[in-house]
């Protein structure tokens, strides 16, 4: 049998593929700007506006205390050298110990960077550069030194504003628009690494919107421009010479630059600096909610097609959210016409909103979108205590009940249960008395003594309420059931897989 027909079929197929490729549009390579031939002219214009910031703090020394020994690789000859040197120079000689009593006051020094934003002598730096300082000194590019006064500081964004009294106007730098920066754009960093004085480094924007768990408003610009200790508080520039970031942190196992640095975006910094200059402290917008991430399980349990927005896990009594009738269990999808995409988005959006502004919020509630309006208030000094939920009176005592399919046993809150699990006198809900060892509830951190406040966003006052909510979820073909849990760490929403009810009399949990 000949293979000629097969060869002809292959030839026809190959010709068809070539013809298809011929109809595709020509690919054009992505255009890229050429690297600057030199940063010299730009650096020369900017260096006079960047300053060195040194601070000192008086601390009580102990007779046996010396500065910590530098870290060297184990077995390094330098390790033994410094160990011997520090032992010889310990107060009291070889026998000096750490408990010899208080010694004299001594000065601790801190070095960082800053930049001038007003020619009259207003300087911006990082809060951690001057935190706790008794004395702050600013040194200009020409070597002139001046004592600085702290105008205001914000530890949540790590920004501080200083003021000096120069004999002549200073070279001021302008803020740029950090939101206009794109990944891959050239940037220039100037600072005071290791106390060496004005140092210029260049690189690109490596990423945007980084959350490095330094605070509730993390939105860092990541750059590979070399940044080292002492660069903190210094400016990050675009190619127009505008400040688009404040160099604040580095990721480094060794303490030196490995090409991962983080800068506070200028758009955030401008707002904070303006508030510190006007009020001496930051004034942030406040909504009065505690929130948690919307997981795929939570989204499924509430009929949301995809996980988006953030879930309300507590509402402060009398706060803006409470007055707007935002409820525990609502999912905030939009704030002031902006999508809430991630957990850290909402705190930043609210904080940057002018106090007294009326803003719309789009919520997911009862399987549909609902729009409410809230008037943003000023964040109080302590926003850590959301209001307790109110529920009807405690039901009469009853034996623990196994909730079929959840791997839990629960009971009403009685005086005996309060004493056994050390519950607050005003605690409402249904207490978990037992958790199945191999259950999903155990895997998700539920434990005896936790209290179920709501099931599927409805209050529960006894085991019968839980059973009814769970059975209704089954009839709706839900794969998950959502529980509001009051535990030792506060309120949180926990989705549990909805297993089929046990057929025998013996039930899990």
Close Cβ partners of 270 (under 8 Å, ≥ 6 residues apart): 175
DSSP secondary structure, 271-299, as one string: HHHHHHHHHSS---EE--EEEEE--HHHH
484 token code pair? 């509001």
CA 161 – CA 129 distance, rounded (Å): 11
CA 498 – CA 486 distance, rounded (Å): 20
| Sheet strands (E) in 164-319 | 186-191, 199-210, 220-223, 235-237, 243-250, 261-265, 285-286, 289-293, 310-315
56 assigned to active site:
no
Question: Position of tokens 């809230």?
Answer: 374
Instruction: Judge whether 282 and 215 are in contact, CB under 8 Å.
Output: no
- To the nearest 10°, report the CA torsion of 413, 419, 422, 428: 20
**CB-neighbour burial class of residue 89 (10 A; exposed 0-12, middle 13-18, buried 19+):** exposed
Neighbours of 353 (CB within 10 A): 18
CA 402 – CA 435 distance, rounded (Å): 10
38 assigned to active site:
no
CA 271 – CA 275 distance, rounded (Å): 6
Of these residues, 232, 257, 301, 439, which one is catalytic?
Answer: 232
User: What are the counts of helices (DSSP H) followed by strands (DSSP E) for the chain?
Assistant: 11, 27
Backbone φ and ψ for 395, nearest 5 degrees, come out as: -75, 165
CA 85 – CA 67 distance, rounded (Å): 12
CA 173 – CA 49 distance, rounded (Å): 6
Composition of the chain by helix, strand, coil, percent to 5: 20, 35, 45
Q: Which of 508, 497, 475 is nearest to 404 (CA)?
A: 508
DSSP strand pairing (310-315 vs 331-335) = antiparallel
Question: Position of tokens 């519950």?
Answer: 423
Of these residues, 154, 158, 224, 297, which one is catalytic?
Answer: 158
Specify the DSSP class assigned to residue 401: E
232 assigned to active site:
yes
Instruction: Judge whether 34 and 239 are in contact, CB under 8 Å.
Output: no
Of these residues, 118, 128, 252, 383, which one is catalytic?
Answer: 128
Close Cβ partners of 232 (under 8 Å, ≥ 6 residues apart): 112, 113, 125, 126, 128, 129, 191, 247, 248, 249
Active site residues: 128, 158, 232
């Amino acid at each position: 049998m000949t293979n000629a027909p097969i060869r002809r079929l292959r030839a026809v197929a190959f010709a068809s593929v070539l013809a298809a490729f011929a109809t595709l549009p020509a690919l054009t390579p992505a255009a890229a700007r050429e690297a600057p031939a030199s940063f010299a002219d730009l650096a020369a214009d900017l260096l006079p506006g960047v300053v060195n910031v040194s601070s000192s703090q008086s601390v009580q020394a102990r007779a046996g205390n010396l500065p910590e020994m530098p870290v060297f690789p184990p077995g390094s000859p330098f390790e033994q050298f410094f160990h011997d040197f520090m032992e010889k120079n310990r107060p009291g000689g070889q026998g000096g110990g750490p408990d010899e009593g208080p010694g004299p006051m001594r000065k601790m020094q801190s070095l960082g960077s800053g930049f001038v934003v007003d020619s009259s002598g207003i300087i911006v730096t990082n809060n951690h550069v001057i935190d706790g300082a008794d004395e702050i000194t600013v040194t200009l590019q020409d070597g002139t030194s001046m004592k600085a006064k702290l105008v205001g500081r914000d530890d949540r964004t790590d920004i501080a504003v200083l003021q000096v009294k120069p004999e002549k106007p200073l070279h001021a730098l302008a803020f740029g628009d950090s939101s206009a920066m794109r990944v891959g754009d050239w940037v220039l960093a100037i600072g005071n690494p290791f106390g060496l004085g004005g140092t210029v480094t260049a690189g690109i924007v490596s990423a945007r919107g980084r959350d490095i768990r330094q605070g509730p408003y993390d939105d860092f610009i990541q750059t590979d421009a070399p940044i080292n200790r002492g660069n903190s508080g210094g400016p990050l520039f675009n190619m127009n010479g505008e400040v688009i970031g404040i160099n604040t942190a580095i990721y480094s196992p060794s303490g030196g630059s490995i090409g991962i640095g983080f800068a506070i975006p200028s758009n955030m910094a401008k707002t904070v600096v303006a508030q510190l200059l006007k009020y001496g402290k930051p004034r942030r917008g406040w909504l009065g909610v505690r929130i948690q991430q919307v997981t795929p399980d939570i989204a499924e349990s509430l009929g949301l097609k995809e996980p988006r927005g953030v879930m309300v896990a507590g509402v402060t009594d009398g706060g803006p959210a409470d007055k707007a009738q935002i409820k525990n269990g609502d999912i905030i999808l939009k704030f002031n016409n902006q999508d809430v995409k991630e957990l850290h988005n909402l705190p930043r959006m609210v904080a940057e909103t002018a106090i007294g502004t009326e803003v719309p919020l789009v919520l997911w509630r009862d399987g549909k979108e609902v729009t409410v309006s809230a008037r943003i208030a000023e964040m109080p000094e302590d926003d850590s205590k959301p209001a307790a939920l109110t529920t009807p009176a405690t039901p009469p005592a009853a034996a623990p009940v196994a909730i079929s399919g959840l791997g839990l046993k629960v009971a009403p809150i009685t005086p005996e249960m309060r004493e056994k699990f050390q519950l607050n006198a005003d605690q409402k809900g249904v207490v978990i008395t037992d958790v199945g060892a191999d259950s999903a509830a155990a895997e998700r951190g539920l434990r005896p003594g936790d209290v179920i406040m709501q099931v599927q966003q409805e209050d529960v006052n006894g085991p019968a309420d839980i059973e009814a909510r769970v059975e209704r979820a089954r009839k709706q073909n839900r794969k998950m059931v959502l529980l509001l849990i009051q535990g030792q760490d506060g309120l949180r929403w926990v989705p549990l897989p909805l297993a089929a009810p046990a057929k025998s009399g013996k039930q899990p949990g």
